[in-house]
Structure 1
Amino acid sequence: MFGSLGIYNYRLYASGQIISLIGVWMQRVAQDWLVLELTNGSPVALGIAASLQFLPVLLLSMWGGVLADRSDKRKLLLWLESALGICALALGLLDVTGVVELWHVFVLCFLLGCFSAVETPVRQSFVVEMVGRDSLTNAVAINSMMFNLARIVGPAIAGVTIVAIGTGWVFLANAISFVGVVLGIYLMRTSQLLRADPVPREKGQLLSGLRYVRHRPDLLTVMLLVFFIATFGMNFYMTLAILARNVFGGDADAYGLLSTLIAVGTFAGATWATRRRTPRMSVFIGSGVLFGLLEIISGMMPTMLLTGLMMIPVGIAMMTFNSTANATVQLAVEPEMRGRVMGIYMLVFLGGNPIGGPLMGWLGEINGRAPIIVGGIVSVVVTATAWIILVRRGDIARPRWRKRPSEAKAEGEARGDGEAELPLAKKRTGGVGPVTSRG
């Protein structure tokens, strides 16, 4: 499970990353709570803040992928992680000095989103340079475990800290946490990095990435489902805050508790993912339907305790869906396209938030339970529709994405052509093997 940690550079990266991720999750809780405090509990303002933070993904994530393919990823990450820390520092200083206003939060949300939109595809495509192809799948699973462990620890600490000393100190703590990840990247042994040759600067590289995905039905199917479910079903940064404060009348610690319980589920799902070697379309589709159904049920729970308990299986289903989608995309992509494809993936994963955030906020004004229930309904409908289409095409009954070696060999012998029906990802990459990416 932890084989990648035996690699010096990845061990440095993981050590700094877990500290930084805890700080990031602390800031997410504190930022949402600060917006609610400044607006007397307005879900619309919360949706606007989320939209401003995710809007740059629409504009910059694909360019971040182009930069990742062209540049020295380690040096680029040093600058980007430092910029993220400065944004947290600025918000913390404004808050603890008592001068923070809503527009300050909105501006810093936008700046944070700009840097994050570029940083994410660069960081994800840098993992393979630290660990190599053979350890890549394991490293991606460990990244997901760290991310979700931070989701458990960060919101819990943030909830207690906000009640005790206020939101400003949480932002400052997050700023300090970035020192760990910057130091880890700086201290890496560059001679041990397995760097890919940078792609020469040419015109049309962004469009070539889009054309690559458009002509790949496997990638296109996954990305469309990820877009709809992430946009409408995975708005927990907002829906849980609305449930905690406006439905159940709780405080910041109640929001932190709900966030922690869903993180327990996602951590369990990420741990399970370390045991899977290849993605299966049936698991991807099935987990999407299950996620939607569980989300609908959780939105109907009469008490906060029952809602919180439902968040655990919701988190497991969500992480199973996300990790399968991520692995499917990266196992199927050629190395020279990795950065651009991951930029597009992050666009569809996060880029819908400027649409989903305000819409879910508007629904929250009408009824505090509506956003989470409607999100579950959308998830079920789009995934079930995809399931029907794939069954008719035979991709579920006879999966093209994964077959047991004995089954594949038997099919090849039965056809008499000596060629087994290989997993789709391996066909596309010429049998090179896994090409994967933070959960």
Structure 2
Amino acid sequence: MTSTPPTDRMTEDTTAGLFRLRDFRLYISGRFLGTLAMLIQSVAVGWQVYDITESPMALGYVGLAQFLPIVLLTLPAGDIADRIDRRIIVAVSAVMEAAAAGWLILLTLTHSGDVTYFYAALALFGCARAFMAPASRSFVPLLVSAVQLPRAVAVSSSSFQIAVITGPAIGGGLYLFGPVLVYALCAALFLCVAAAFLAIRTRPPVGTTGSTVGALKRVTAGIAYMRRTPIVLGAISLDLFAVLLGGAVALLPIFARDILHVGPEGLGLMRSAPAIGAIIVNLLIIWRPIRKRTGHIMFACVTIFGVATIAFGLSEDFLLTLGALAIMGASDMVSVNIRSTLIPLATPQPMLGRVTAVEMLFIGASNELGEFESGLTAAWFGTVPAVVIGGLGTLGVVGIWMWLFPDLRKVDKLSDVKPQEPG
């Protein structure tokens, strides 16, 4: 079966036109609830593990436990997303996430003091995310027209950021009543995600690659395409190295408890601050999408992200910290919006699942592996120096990538970006 053919409603380039599409509404709802549950759970797990261990390295292992399954499974998951109904993949993955939340409930009720079991539950969660990400992120181009895609990406990102704003605050507030309540809510939300995607009527195209193409070649096709497409390679790798060095989310519990002394409620606000900045920028993009000088804007915003990271690391004032985090979120969201629009436009649809898998692998590295890097450097150099060094590293990456990928820097209009032949 194939995806639903375009209609007049699918070509109306307005926000109202997008929300007239039933399947797009279901997609946005599922994405929102899944992100909300993930962020609620992350606040609770981070606080609970740090409360048990009081170790920055333990927080690093929280990210590593989720990242390792992503490394191992994301590329095969991208191949599967191009060969099996993506709705089913997302639904099964969401059920796995609910099972991981149930495991965390069991560990809490049994008063387990061995954080190894928490890492095991997070590894299961990482496995689910590895399969869900390529299937769900490559869904948007099937639901809207090419004309609507930039605005649809911005709307999708806005729903994501609203969840990021509310999720940590809900997680921090509910944690006052105990982690069991937090994990139970997350499990219920993950099950709602499964129901939402199963209700989508659009049938994604299923690959018809014959047996003459080996599994390894299919799985690595996304990497091969990315390597011969400098714009795609530059956009994905810029996010990897900039956020890998500049991300400091894993260290927020230390800032909240030991530096700023604001408790779990403050931690929730700190986790929400980047999303507040991001949602403000996203609303501006929905109102007026980026039309010109796209490459220059992308590099400029990653530079701002690095400077704001340094300011966050040096701040000893809670309000100043929230402001720096908000600027980090705002600048990062511009980069994310450009990348999330550019990659589908530069990639043939039959390969989008596999290319998206490579993108998600890089994003996972920049987030989960970045958390491990932050915990490691904090253990070596101290919390504040680790954040400052990371921000300086981000600025260095911007300069190097502008030199290595001039085609990306010179991108003007996204509408001019076309896919190469997949051969």
With structure 1 as the length reference, what TM-score do the two structures score? 0.85
**Secondary structure of the equivalent of 1:195?**
coil
Of 400, 413, 416, the match for 1:402: 413
Displacement of 1:197 in angstroms is 4.2
Displacement of 1:315 in angstroms is 1.1
* Larger Cα-atom Rg: 1
Cα distance change of structure 1 residues 175 and 395 upon mapping to structure 2, 3 Å threshold: closer
Q: Detail structure 1 runs of 4+ shifted over 6 Å in the superposition.
A: none
Displacement of 1:426 in angstroms is 2.5
Residue number in structure 1 paired with 2:209: 200
- TM alignment of 1:82-97, pairs within 5 A: 82-97=95-110
For 1:267 and 1:197, the matched residues in 2 are separated by 34
List alignment gaps of at least 5 residues for structure 1: 404-421, 431-439
Of 174, 179, 197, the match for 1:167: 179
Of 247, 260, 269, the match for 2:281: 269
1:319-369 deviations in Å (ceiling 9; x for gaps)? 112221222222211111100100001111112556533331132234221
- TM alignment of 1:251-400, pairs within 5 A: 251-274=263-286, 275-276=288-289, 280-353=294-367, 355-365=369-379, 366-389=381-404, 393=406, 396=409, 399-400=410-411
**Secondary structure of the equivalent of 1:276?**
coil
Of 29, 45, 65, the match for 2:43: 29
List alignment gaps of at least 5 residues for structure 2: 1-14
Matched, 1:3 2:14: no
Residue number in structure 2 paired with 1:221: 234
Residue number in structure 2 paired with 1:187: 199
Residue number in structure 2 paired with 1:74: 87
For 1:194 and 1:108, the matched residues in 2 are separated by 32
Of 85, 98, 103, the match for 2:116: 103
- TM alignment of 1:21-170, pairs within 5 A: 21-39=35-53, 41-99=54-112, 101-163=114-176, 165-170=177-182
Displacement of 1:133 in angstroms is 3.9
1:1-54 deviations in Å (ceiling 9; x for gaps)? 343221112222323432332222110100100110110x21101001111111
* Superposition RMSD in Å: 2.3
Displacement of 1:213 in angstroms is 1.0
For 1:354 and 1:276, the matched residues in 2 are separated by 30
Q: Which moved more, 1:344-353 or 1:21-30?
A: 344-353
1:56-101 deviations in Å (ceiling 9; x for gaps)? 2211111111111111111222211111111112212321443463
Q: Which moved more, 1:345-354 or 1:63-72?
A: 345-354
Contact 1:55 1:353 in 2 (8 A): no
Q: Which moved more, 1:207-216 or 1:59-68?
A: 207-216
With structure 2 as the length reference, what TM-score do the two structures score? 0.88
AA at the equivalent of 2:205: A
For 1:84 and 1:100, the matched residues in 2 are separated by 22
AA at the equivalent of 1:257: L
Identity %: 25
1:206-230 deviations in Å (ceiling 9; x for gaps)? 2222211111111121122111012
Give the count of matched residue pairs: 401
For 2:123 and 2:192, the matched residues in 1 are separated by 24
Displacement of 1:427 in angstroms is 6.6
For 1:324 and 1:309, the matched residues in 2 are separated by 23
